[in-house]
Chains A and B, each alone.
Chain A
């Protein structure tokens, strides 16, 4: 073959790179393409974050307005009395519990027929009935006041709606129509007068209640057993404490002033430390995130308690003990769990796990387990078990990586000193990879706390702070979670309403929580790499 002439090769070189697309060389095009992909994902992330904050930001202002109306319309005033009434209701519940225990005693230990037991309890029933009825005057007062306060609030809401309407018309340039929208300002002073005027009536009702309760409790019937008698004594004591709280309520009512400003911090603290999440209520909406945070944390805690031993244990087995064929079998199996769609898991949780656990809890030989038996099929335990399943692959994979990173020489040195396999694992391998394992657990936690479908389907969705006084039995209570509430309520809220924004703030909180968890995990891993050298 003839070698190309020098002139030809010069020609060839001169032509290379002449291909241009929109004035860019091919290399630049490729670079722009890949760079563009990276930039797009970053921009999308930034947009999501900005959107979250933009939508959530308005919440605190609206919450402040919400709290202000609560005070100015007199709802707060009425709630003082309502709390007094609610406490009484709690005491009557104690009495019904006491009746149930007596009934059980009569039927099971004294072998009375139910009818005979009811007859034996006639005296107690009369006592309980009197106790329950004593609150009637107070209840009437509360319901009157509730109507009045609701009416004020309603008028205020109408006024606000009109204002919004006018602003919208003005913005649309229809000044004529805007002027026609009549706004009746709410005169809180005048409106509140009838409510505040009920103070003497309250005093009378309260004093009457105190007198009657004291009298009724003093004449309480005797209990059939010392154990039940102790409970009755406890009830007497509770009633005495309840009565002792009356003067404080009266004082609150006397000093209450609708003009007292709502402190600026309260709009935040009412959200972050609020113990109630009540929405679409005829009375007053509360956006307190504590029940949701407590629910999310409890479910995650149960999930981690189950998933950490399973995930880390499996990782240790696969990494240190298993034979190669076992490794080839176990690893894909565990990693496969994460391929199961979480809605399927949730479905399984409702249909199978919830039922099974409840049936199990009702077995007599398992009655020693705290919280057993229970009747709520969907609760912290059910959701926690399923979330554990979701966390296991994350924890397993990352913990296995961490164990793999322990230099082989540590293991050899330990064996050479006469350590058994178990000693080597527990004293050398696990401590050396501990930071990696901790970060695996943290990332598993992040996986669990952000999970939505399973908790929405299986956690029971009762918005209440779990009753921690129940001890370990708390895990059999239903809860609602941060993720669950967003998924459940976002579809039905009015866009731009305080409820809508509150859900966004919950989302932001979740976002920061995940961010903190991920950051902590990465930080720990980085330190761990350095310590190994």
Chain B
């Protein structure tokens, strides 16, 4: 759903807001930088249940942004708004507010969802390679776009797998099933699959929650190398992970954005007492 009548406050708002100011719930602002995703006073409903309350934040280009917060706080819901994956769930709607990517409201009726999802890739909580070969998993997105040139596909497969730090482990068995890989490898395969279609933004929904520490370390390392080319938004329960990987961190609680600031500030010098309580492990 797109809001038909944006509030005056939204239209008047400058694209880049001043840096980390301790924010009241619902009106947090982004750190300085080029804004890629602009979330403006978004209310989101599952049927009659409101999951997001008046969320506003700016996500910067080619940065890693982490969403943290206790379970059910709405961080995954917000993430899934960016590529409109929530459309797949019946009865969901963005009741008011706008989400703009490069200045374009993604809920506008003339927005092509298919095109949007090509540009906004996603990695899920549970690794979900297709029951196909590794090669076919990577080429799936390209074939959807009608790319059938074998040489080009080979090239993309190698590039994506190298990009996902998986090439050396699987180069000899590209045509075996993707389900035969270990959990961590499967998750990196899913990342490779996402970057094969060259998105601008990669959304990661708790990508390491099902992985052991070694596999987690590899994925985090991979995130570090991806930040040069992609804008990454990562939802995580693991605060160390947010601290290690991200440039900015947003803390959500009960469907509200409590605080959004550079990661260092969130962990070292949180403005809100709730954030402080959460990051220091006193609740959540």
A-side residues, CB < 8 A to B, are 324, 407, 409-420, 423, 427-428, 431-432, 531-533
Contact between A414 and B145 (Cβ–Cβ < 8 Å)?
no
14 inter-chain pairs at a CB distance below 8 angstroms, sorted by A residue, are A407-B128, A412-B85, A412-B88, A412-B122, A413-B122, A415-B85, A416-B117, A416-B122, A417-B121, A418-B141, A418-B197, A431-B131, A432-B130, A531-B131
Take A412-B85, A423-B144, A533-B179 as given contacts and tell me if A417 and B118 are in contact as well, using a CB distance cutoff of 8 Å: yes
Which residue from B131, B144, B197 sits with its C-beta under 8 Å from A432? B131
- Complex Cα–Cα for A356 and B111 (A): 50
B278 close to A (CB within 8 Å): no
List residues of chain A with CB within 8 A of the CB of B141.
417-419
List residues of chain A with CB within 8 A of the CB of B114.
418-420
List residues of chain A with CB within 8 A of the CB of B121.
416-417
List residues of chain B with CB within 8 A of the CB of A413.
122, 124, 128-130, 190, 193
- Provide the B180-198 mask, 1 if CB < 8 A to any CB of A, else 0: 0000000000100110010
- Complex Cα–Cα for A413 and B130 (A): 8
Q: Which residue of B lies closest to A409 (CB)?
A: B128
- Complex Cα–Cα for A531 and B121 (A): 27
B-side residues, CB < 8 A to A, are 83, 85, 88, 90, 114-115, 117-118, 121-122, 124, 126, 128-132, 140-141, 144-145, 179, 190, 193-194, 197
Nearest 8 pairs of A and B residues by beta carbon? A409-B128, A418-B118, A416-B122, A417-B141, A418-B117, A413-B128, A418-B114, A419-B144
- Complex Cα–Cα for A423 and B130 (A): 14
Which residue from B85, B115, B129, B145 sits with its C-beta under 8 Å from A416? B85
New contact pairs (8) apart from A413-B124, A416-B194, A417-B118, CB-CB < 8 Å: A409-B126, A409-B128, A414-B130, A414-B140, A416-B85, A417-B197, A420-B114, A432-B131
List residues of chain A with CB within 8 A of the CB of B193.
413, 417
List residues of chain B with CB within 8 A of the CB of A428.
130
Contact between A410 and B130 (Cβ–Cβ < 8 Å)?
yes
Contact between A417 and B83 (Cβ–Cβ < 8 Å)?
no
Take A409-B126, A412-B88, A412-B124 as given contacts and tell me if A417 and B140 are in contact as well, using a CB distance cutoff of 8 Å: yes
- Complex Cα–Cα for A413 and B122 (A): 8
Q: Which residue of B lies closest to A434 (CB)?
A: B131
Expressed in whole angstroms, the minimum distance between the Cβ of B154 and any Cβ of chain A is: 19
- Complex Cα–Cα for A315 and B34 (A): 48
List residues of chain B with CB within 8 A of the CB of A423.
144
- Complex Cα–Cα for A423 and B143 (A): 10
Contact between B194 and A417 (Cβ–Cβ < 8 Å)?
yes
Contact between B117 and A417 (Cβ–Cβ < 8 Å)?
yes
- Complex Cα–Cα for A288 and B144 (A): 54
Contact between A427 and B117 (Cβ–Cβ < 8 Å)?
no
Contact between A324 and B90 (Cβ–Cβ < 8 Å)?
yes
Q: Which residue of B lies closest to A419 (CB)?
A: B144
List residues of chain A with CB within 8 A of the CB of B88.
411-412, 415
Q: Which residue of B lies closest to A531 (CB)?
A: B131
Expressed in whole angstroms, the minimum distance between the Cβ of B145 and any Cβ of chain A is: 7
List residues of chain B with CB within 8 A of the CB of A431.
131-132
List residues of chain A with CB within 8 A of the CB of B194.
416-417
Take A417-B197, A418-B145, A418-B197 as given contacts and tell me if A410 and B128 are in contact as well, using a CB distance cutoff of 8 Å: yes
Q: Which residue of B lies closest to A407 (CB)?
A: B128
- Complex Cα–Cα for A532 and B129 (A): 11
- Complex Cα–Cα for A309 and B270 (A): 61
Expressed in whole angstroms, the minimum distance between the Cβ of A409 and any Cβ of chain B is: 4
Q: Kindly name the residue among A411, A418, A423 whose own CB sees the greatest number of chain B CB atoms within 10 A.
A: A418
- Complex Cα–Cα for A504 and B194 (A): 61
- Complex Cα–Cα for A412 and B122 (A): 9
List residues of chain A with CB within 8 A of the CB of B117.
415-418
List residues of chain B with CB within 8 A of the CB of A533.
179
List residues of chain B with CB within 8 A of the CB of A420.
114
Expressed in whole angstroms, the minimum distance between the Cβ of A10 and any Cβ of chain B is: 52
Q: Kindly name the residue among B90, B117, B128 whose own CB sees the greatest number of chain A CB atoms within 10 A.
A: B128
List residues of chain A with CB within 8 A of the CB of B130.
410, 413-414, 428, 432
Contact between B197 and A412 (Cβ–Cβ < 8 Å)?
no
Q: Which residue of A lies closest to B87 (CB)?
A: A415
- Complex Cα–Cα for A427 and B194 (A): 17
- Complex Cα–Cα for A428 and B118 (A): 17
Which residue from B126, B131, B144 sits with its C-beta under 8 Å from A418? B144
- Complex Cα–Cα for A418 and B115 (A): 6
List residues of chain B with CB within 8 A of the CB of A419.
114, 140-141, 144
- Complex Cα–Cα for A410 and B90 (A): 18
List residues of chain B with CB within 8 A of the CB of A410.
128, 130-131
- Complex Cα–Cα for A431 and B131 (A): 9
List residues of chain A with CB within 8 A of the CB of B85.
412, 415-416
Contact between A409 and B124 (Cβ–Cβ < 8 Å)?
yes
Expressed in whole angstroms, the minimum distance between the Cβ of A65 and any Cβ of chain B is: 58
- Complex Cα–Cα for A412 and B129 (A): 11
Expressed in whole angstroms, the minimum distance between the Cβ of A328 and any Cβ of chain B is: 13
Expressed in whole angstroms, the minimum distance between the Cβ of A433 and any Cβ of chain B is: 10
List residues of chain B with CB within 8 A of the CB of A427.
140, 144
List residues of chain A with CB within 8 A of the CB of B126.
409
Contact between B144 and A417 (Cβ–Cβ < 8 Å)?
yes
Q: Kindly name the residue among A409, A410, A423, A532 whose own CB sees the greatest number of chain B CB atoms within 10 A.
A: A409
Q: Kindly name the residue among B85, B118, B130, B179 whose own CB sees the greatest number of chain A CB atoms within 10 A.
A: B130
List residues of chain A with CB within 8 A of the CB of B124.
409, 412-413, 416
List residues of chain B with CB within 8 A of the CB of A411.
88
Expressed in whole angstroms, the minimum distance between the Cβ of B68 and any Cβ of chain A is: 22
- Complex Cα–Cα for A517 and B197 (A): 43
